[in-house]
A and B are shown apart, each in its own frame.
Chain A
Amino acid sequence: MKRNRYLSFSFISALLVALIFLFPLYWMVATSFKLESVTTAWPPQVFPNPITLDNYRTIIGNPVDTPVFQWFLNSAFAAISYTLGSIAVSALAAYALARLRFPGRQFYFWTCIASLVVPGVIFLIPNYITIDTLGWVDRYPALIVPGMATATGMFLLRQFFLSIPSELEDSARIDGAGRFRIFWQIVLPLSKPVVLTYGLMSFLNNWNDYLWALIVTYSSSMRTLPVGLMTLQGRYIHQYGTMMAGAVLTALPALILFLAVQRYFVKGIVLTGIKG
């Protein structure tokens, strides 16, 4: 009996909390479908009436000032390139550190780990100067290349590779397969869970990045969605319906991706066994 009461108490609390978590999203979406004159009405309409697409039309229909589609493309291109590049770079390095013997491998591994301790605040200015020197300011490489080699990626992949029994590779070697073929055709496919986890992490990190993208881009056509939304705030600051429409458009791709794959992501976190 007590268990049942406890259970329903938990369930109700969980439900209430869920409603609290969902409400701001609902409010953002609802406001985006309200007429501008109604958004500031008092008392506020809980459900938009009438429902209008005007705000979306304002944002989408203004490709000179608010090239939302361009921003989306920039974000997508940067995030995809970044994710693929980051996986490739980290996987290659992790394989060398896990399987190959060479002088300096411990040194390299621990240097990477040690760098995690360094606070991120100091990287901003020197990396900006490097980007400037390379002539990458306001260009795609600035959004893609800098963060590609991560210590986390190298670590996650190396740990996973180490956990793959070496017998699998050894038998392949005996059959005459070359190193790279083994890496490509055996090790990587087996590493799907961790690659997926790290891939998702990387994608979202790059997609949602705000401060770095803010610093390295300035023209409207190069902006990514998060930064584009912020410039929208300068223009439509009192047009709450329009602002919310912009926010919804910015949030949608990330949310869709998240909902599609979060299950694997959570599984992956468990798999990498962050226990300490």
Chain B
Amino acid sequence: MRKTAVRVLLTLSLVCLLSFSALAAPVVLEYWTIFTGPDGATMQELVDQFNKERAGEIEVRMSIMPGGNFYESILTAVISGRAPDVAIMHMDRLPEFASQGILLELDAYVDELGLVGEDYIEPVWNGGIIDGKRYSIPLDAHPLVMYWNKDIFEAAGLDPEAPPMDRESFIEVTKLLTQDTDGDGVIDQWGTQLSVGWPNFQYWYSILFQNDGELFNEDNTQAIFNNEAGVDALQYLTDLIYVHKVSPANVQVDADVEAFKRGEVAIEFNGIWMLAGYQDHPGLNFGAGMIPQWGTERKAVWAGSHQFIIPRQRSVDRAKVNASLEFIAWIGNHSLEWGRGGQLPAKLSVLNSEEFRSDPHLGSIAEAAPYVAFPHTFFLQYGEATGPAWDAINKAFLGLMTPQEALDEAVELSNRVLKQ
């Protein structure tokens, strides 16, 4: 009798203990991000803050993967049942992965969280919808940005707060600022540096859209970027190198970044994510803002967008999904800090807030928000189909082909991809 009683008591206490620990155990979320630069540190700080506020309830574990890795592994991870609970994906890759069926549909949850389209930059809000269903929640938009060295401007007698904003004045100013400053016969200060490789697609893309062009036709069955708009865009850029000679030929990827930091380049173009790197570089007195309107029709600028996604698991764990959504909402509400790390928050209330706008660089870059240009739709083969365009731009920059030839070849290859 006593033995049984003792046994029952022990079992009861064990059960109580276990259930308490289960109750007390926080929901652990695996969070995969692609922020390999200084923005990674910013996100980590936000995650740490979230974990502190929700200690004991939710714990977020963040992993950083280089973009290439992430996109290669997310599919395998989902297949092998070891997908993260929440992750960040670029907007242009969404259709690929949505079509593989590995993303959770979020329409219902978005309503629950009370998120509405009017609160967000329109194209990045709409970008989460594929075939009528929502698969992602926007975090930010990150445009191409013009950075200029204020000291070089002043030294040449130009207004350091007024960089050139159109086609002709850009050529004038960069010509003026391309100099041999120490008289040794070698140009050591360049008006600009256009890199052969990343992110030159974004320069060209911006001009294409400024010319009112598009990459693909309405139903994404034909590549059309070798039209006038595209060729004009590429011609303008290659002329900067070979005709106006305001940029060296053969700039290696990120050599322009290094040169800008050393104060050897007057105007440099790169993503908003470079902002922190430039801010941290001692002695660099620079401005940042919307890129010039090199094109003929309208203002436009390339941008990417980070979006939150929730991978579809073998079995839906409601607790984890809820925790992920809470995390996503929290980050959204703290996107000011995120933006300060070098992004444009997708939430308009944050983007247009006094605090954000008063930041000297971010406020100026935020002027670009209405002009972010996305293709009319992203689709499954977008990445593969734009690959040939990247190659074409490089070939033209290297002087191996004329812009028309290069883009013609790229369109032919791109059409092959689209035919699959």
Consider the complex of A and B and state whether they touch directly, i.e. have CB atoms less than 8 Å apart.
Answer: yes
A137 touches B67 (CB 8 A): no
B77 touches A218 (CB 8 A): yes
B57-65, B221-229, B333-341 - the one binding chain A? B57-65
B80 touches A137 (CB 8 A): yes
* Bound complex: CA A40 to CA B36 (Å): 21
Name the interface residues of A31-80: CB closer than 8 Å to any CB of B. Answer: 40, 64-65
A231 touches B62 (CB 8 A): no
B67 touches A132 (CB 8 A): no
* Bound complex: CA A237 to CA B258 (Å): 12
* CB proximity of A59 to chain B, nearest CB, Å: 14
A235 touches B80 (CB 8 A): no
Query: With an 8 A cutoff between CB atoms, is A234 at the interface?
Result: yes
* Bound complex: CA A177 to CA B79 (Å): 52
B254 touches A238 (CB 8 A): yes
Name the interface residues of B331-349: CB closer than 8 Å to any CB of A. Answer: none
Query: With an 8 A cutoff between CB atoms, is A146 at the interface?
Result: no
* Bound complex: CA A65 to CA B44 (Å): 10
A220 touches B65 (CB 8 A): yes
* Bound complex: CA A120 to CA B65 (Å): 29
Total A-B pairs in contact (CB under 8 Å)?
A: 51
B80 touches A65 (CB 8 A): no
Which chain A positions have C-beta within 8 A of B370? none
Query: With an 8 A cutoff between CB atoms, is B399 at the interface?
Result: no
* Bound complex: CA A138 to CA B68 (Å): 17
* Bound complex: CA A151 to CA B144 (Å): 54
**B 100-122 to A, binary, CB cutoff 8 A, 1 in contact else 0:** 00000000000000000000000
A238 touches B258 (CB 8 A): yes
* Bound complex: CA A219 to CA B66 (Å): 12
Query: With an 8 A cutoff between CB atoms, is A135 at the interface?
Result: yes
- In the complex formed, the residue of A with least CB distance to B262 is A40
Question: Do A218 and B69 contact each other (CB < 8 Å), given the known contacts A132-B79, A135-B80, A235-B36?
Answer: yes
29 residue pairs from A and B, CB less than 8 Å apart: A40-B258, A40-B262, A64-B62, A64-B64, A65-B40, A65-B64, A132-B79, A132-B80, A137-B79, A137-B80, A137-B82, A138-B80, A218-B73, A218-B76, A218-B77, A219-B63, A219-B77, A220-B63, A220-B65, A233-B66, A234-B36, A234-B65, A234-B68, A234-B69, A235-B37, A235-B66, A237-B254, A238-B254, A238-B257
Minimum-distance CB pairs A-B, first 10: A234-B66, A218-B73, A235-B36, A137-B80, A234-B36, A65-B64, A238-B254, A220-B63, A231-B66, A137-B76
- Give chain A's interface residues, CB within 8 Å of chain B: 40, 64-65, 132, 135, 137-138, 218-220, 231, 233-235, 237-238
Additional A-B contact list (17), CB under 8 Å, known A234-B69, A238-B254 = A40-B258, A64-B44, A64-B62, A64-B64, A137-B80, A138-B76, A138-B77, A138-B82, A218-B76, A218-B77, A219-B63, A219-B77, A231-B65, A234-B66, A235-B37, A235-B40, A237-B254
